[in-house]
């Protein structure tokens, strides 16, 4: 009898949800003031009230952004215009007392933050990042909905990964809110062009003036896409959209299931390095359609849109993607083996010269993304490491270990394909850390405990020569900089003052008490003139100690909170190490096999 009533209850609940209909209308009355007007039409709610929620974060960007702060003018009314009671029950939740009736919610969203993860509206276009625009009924994330876009006067194009509703102009369908929140929308007069790659229809929507070559992109983008598709054996989309925002200063990207948003500096396409840099950015976000959007850590889905979603595996989700973005560009023919290795050494330099690499592991960096990666402070370099760069290096050494162990028969490609086939396609769920580790060992045919214990979960220095040696390559460490005396400070010109913004752990400044926010006034009683501090160039402070050597003692006059202090400092050598790789002239057949598999030389 209990089972019978349970089945009846489930039937009633399912049919009640099926009766619910949701539809959004988005218009732009004052785009110059950066507002989007949103109406949410709701019918079929069986309760006396419904809680409408806005996500506090957007997947792929691990920071609570409190999107509800941009909502204003919230109201609810019946079709006849009768106003309904509304109660704010949480920071991101509005309770509408509709008494089981149909109603419309109206609200405005202020959208004036330029990034790939936040909504932006002005007189020229609208970019809707859905998690910060659309509400969802509590407990109904699986509910389908429609979105009707009403473009502002003169706007003629809409670009999105959502499917259009047949017979309804400018209206799109989302089978659930996970898909809606994963489908950004560009509205305006963007330059739209298409091409085909790997059996998929691709659309590029370019907002903003820029010096890109449309024909060249249509020829080169398919090469990158098909190179990546070959790794997994399939491209699961029928259609994919690149939304590209070209600004004076632009960078970054955010991945989605069948689209991505890229931020690009408008003049960057004009140089070969800038153009290849764009291809690499596109390759990174496109690779995510497999790695993280489908093959994902178990903690990243189903999503909790109201709280942090913690995982220790962003070194795979983002780090491995960073490995494959460089590798994709190389394999597609847009860089040489030397250029590819220079990119690898770039990661080595970033990781090995950051003090936080000895403090935080890759798995800890992944877990701490919410509190440290996305909320850096003046001490972050001393305590953290990027799961992007460290993860890319772990991918590099794991790739070499697999190739070495299998005599060049297998590589990281095989690991990613096996994980995709097993967890996304067969089991239809995310993987655990233990499951990824087990699969990596299975593909290699041996335990990868050293990599996991020392580099993933530990902070031991990576033994580059061991792994590069598998391919007959040798890492050369140039630590000549240690003979150069430095204070270990990062400086910036703030309000006309030479100001300390970072003190490196273990440096002379660290040991002898120079603080962040100190203004450097004089060294050995000689005035330090405030001048613009340019990255990579000697500062006035560097010039003041240029003739000195490690071990020399100096006095540093600082202004700290309006008070003058004289600090006695003993200079230390520059800890920065530069790296390069040399190819051994004589290699074994095993090394030659790995080198061929890895670098095709």
At 365 the pLDDT is 98
Q: Could you say which residues of the chain have pLDDT below 50?
A: 1, 4-16
Coil, helix or strand for 553? strand
At 294 the pLDDT is 98
In 3D, which of 164, 29, 49 has the Cα closest to residue 100?
Answer: 49
Judge whether 334 and 293 are in contact, CB under 8 Å. Answer: no
Task: Please tell me the distance from the alpha carbon of residue 173 to that of residue 279, in angstroms, as a whole number.
Answer: 30
At 2 the pLDDT is 52
The domain locations on the chain are 16-188, 190-280, 290-474+585-601, 481-573
In the chain, the largest separation of any two C-alpha atoms, in whole Å, equals 92
In 3D, which of 444, 388, 434, 439 has the Cα closest to residue 411?
Answer: 444
At 6 the pLDDT is 42
Coil, helix or strand for 533? coil
The top-level CATH class assigned to 481-573 is mainly beta
Task: Please tell me the distance from the alpha carbon of residue 338 to that of residue 335, in angstroms, as a whole number.
Answer: 8
- Superfamily of chain region 190-280: Neutral Protease Domain 2 (1.10.390.10)
At 421 the pLDDT is 98
Task: Please tell me the distance from the alpha carbon of residue 290 to that of residue 478, in angstroms, as a whole number.
Answer: 38
In 3D, which of 393, 560, 380 has the Cα closest to residue 475?
Answer: 393
Tens-place pLDDT, residues 304-355:
999 999 999 999 999 999 999 999 999 999 999 999 999 999 999 999 999 9
Rg (C-alpha) for the chain, rounded Å, is: 27
Judge whether 193 and 218 are in contact, CB under 8 Å. Answer: yes
Judge whether 141 and 177 are in contact, CB under 8 Å. Answer: yes
Backbone angles phi, psi at 168, to 5 degrees: -120, 110
At 18 the pLDDT is 59
Task: Please tell me the distance from the alpha carbon of residue 67 to that of residue 53, in angstroms, as a whole number.
Answer: 10
Task: Please tell me the distance from the alpha carbon of residue 226 to that of residue 520, in angstroms, as a whole number.
Answer: 54
Tens-place pLDDT, residues 532-556:
777 677 889 999 999 999 999 999 9
Task: Please tell me the distance from the alpha carbon of residue 485 to that of residue 379, in angstroms, as a whole number.
Answer: 22
Cβ neighbours of residue 9 closer than 8 Å, sequence gap 6 or more: none
Does 290-474+585-601 match 16-188 at the fold level?
no
β-pairing, 519-523 vs 526-527, is antiparallel
Burial of 60 by CB count in 10 Å (0-12 exposed, 13-18 middle, 19+ buried)? buried
Judge whether 190 and 227 are in contact, CB under 8 Å. Answer: no
CATH of 16-188, one of 2.60.40.3650, 1.20.140.10, 3.10.310.10, 2.20.28.90: 2.60.40.3650
Cis peptide before 302 (omega within 30 of 0): yes
How many Å from the N-terminal Cα to the C-terminal Cα in the chain? Answer: 71
Residue 185: DSSP 8-state: E
At 95 the pLDDT is 98
Model pTM score: 0.94
Location of structure tokens 């929620």 = 53
One-character DSSP codes across 394-422: HHHHHHHHHHHHTTTS--HHHHHHHHIII
At 479 the pLDDT is 84
- Superfamily of chain region 290-474+585-601: Neutral Protease Domain 2 (1.10.390.10)
Q: Taking the C-alpha atoms of 385, 387, 390 and 392 in order, what is their torsion angle to the nearest 10 degrees?
A: -160
Rounded to 5°, angle at Cα 69 from 67 and 74: 105
Task: Please tell me the distance from the alpha carbon of residue 282 to that of residue 301, in angstroms, as a whole number.
Answer: 24
What Cα–Cα distance (Å) separates residue 293 from each residue in 147, 290, 296?
22, 6, 6
């Amino acid at each position: 009898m209990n089972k019978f009533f349970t089945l009846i209850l489930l039937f009633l609940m399912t049919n009640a949800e099926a009766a619910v209909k949701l539809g959004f209308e988005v218009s732009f009355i004052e785009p110059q003031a950066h507002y989007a007007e949103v109406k949410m039409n709701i019918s079929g709610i069986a309760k006396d009230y419904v809680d409408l929620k806005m996500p506090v974060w957007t997947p792929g960007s691990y920071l609570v952004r409190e999107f509800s702060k941009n909502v204003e003018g919230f109201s609810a009314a019946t079709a006849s215009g009768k106003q309904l009671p509304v109660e704010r029950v949480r920071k991101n939740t509005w309770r509408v007392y509709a008494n089981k009736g149909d109603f419309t919610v109206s609200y405005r969203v202020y959208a004036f933050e330029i990034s790939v993860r936040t909504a932006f509206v002005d007189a020229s276009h609208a970019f809707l990042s859905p998690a910060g625009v659309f509400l969802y009924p509590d407990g109904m994330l699986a509910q389908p909905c429609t979105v009707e876009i009403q473009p502002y006067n003169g706007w003629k194009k809409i670009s999105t990964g959502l499917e259009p509703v047949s017979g309804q102009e400018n209206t799109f369908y989302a089978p659930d809110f996970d898909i809606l929140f994963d489908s950004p929308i560009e509205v305006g007069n963007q330059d739209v062009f298409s091409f085909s790659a790997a059996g998929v229809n691709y659309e590029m929507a370019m907002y903003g003036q820029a010096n890109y070559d449309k024909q060249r992109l249509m020829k080169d983008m398919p090469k990158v896409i098909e190179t990546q598709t070959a790794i997994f054996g399939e491209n699961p989309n029928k259609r994919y959209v690149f939304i590209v925002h070209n600004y004076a200063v632009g960078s970054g990207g955010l991945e989605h299931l069948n689209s991505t948003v890229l931020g690009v500096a408008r003049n960057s396409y004009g140089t070969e390095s800038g153009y290849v840099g764009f291809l690499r950015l596109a390759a990174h976000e496109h690779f995510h359609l497999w790695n993280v959007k489908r093959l994902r850590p178990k903690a990243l889905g189903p999503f909790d849109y109201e709280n942090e979603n913690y995982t220790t595996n962003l070194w795979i989700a983002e780090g491995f993607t960073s490995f494959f973005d460089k590798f994709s560009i190389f394999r597609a023919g847009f860089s040489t083996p030397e250029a590819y290795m220079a990119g690898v050494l770039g990661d080595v330099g970033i990781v090995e010269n950051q003090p936080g690499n000895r403090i935080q592991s890759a798995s800890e960096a992944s877990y701490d993304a919410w509190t440290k990666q996305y909320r850096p402070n003046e001490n972050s370099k001393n305590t953290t490491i990027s799961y992007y760069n460290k993860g890319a290096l772990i991918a590099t050494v794991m790739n070499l270990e697999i190739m070495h162990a299998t005599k060049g028969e297998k590589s990281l490609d095989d690991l990613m394909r096996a994980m995709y086939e097993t967890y996304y396609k067969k089991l239809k769920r995310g993987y655990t850390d233990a499951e990824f580790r087990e699969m990596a060992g299975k593909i290699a045919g041996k335990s990868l405990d050293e990599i996991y214990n020392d580099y993933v979960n530990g902070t031991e220095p990576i033994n580059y020569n061991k792994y590069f040696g598998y391919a007959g390559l040798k890492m050369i460490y140039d630590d000549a900089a240690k003979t150069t005396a430095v204070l270990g400070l990062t400086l910036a010109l703030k309000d006309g003052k030479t100001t300390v913004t970072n003190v490196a752990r273990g440096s002379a400044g660290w040991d002898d008490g120079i603080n962040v926010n100190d203004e450097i006034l004089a060294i050995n009683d000689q005035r330090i003139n405030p001048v613009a501090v340019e990255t990579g160039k000697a500062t006035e402070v560097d010039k003041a100690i240029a003739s000195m050597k490690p071990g020399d003692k100096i006095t540093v006059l600082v202004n700290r909170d309006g008070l003058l202090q004289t600090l006695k400092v003993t200079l230390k050598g520059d800890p920065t190490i530069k790296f390069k790789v040399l190819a051994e002239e004589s290699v074994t057949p095993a090394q030659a096999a790995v080198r061929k598999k890895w670098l095709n030389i």
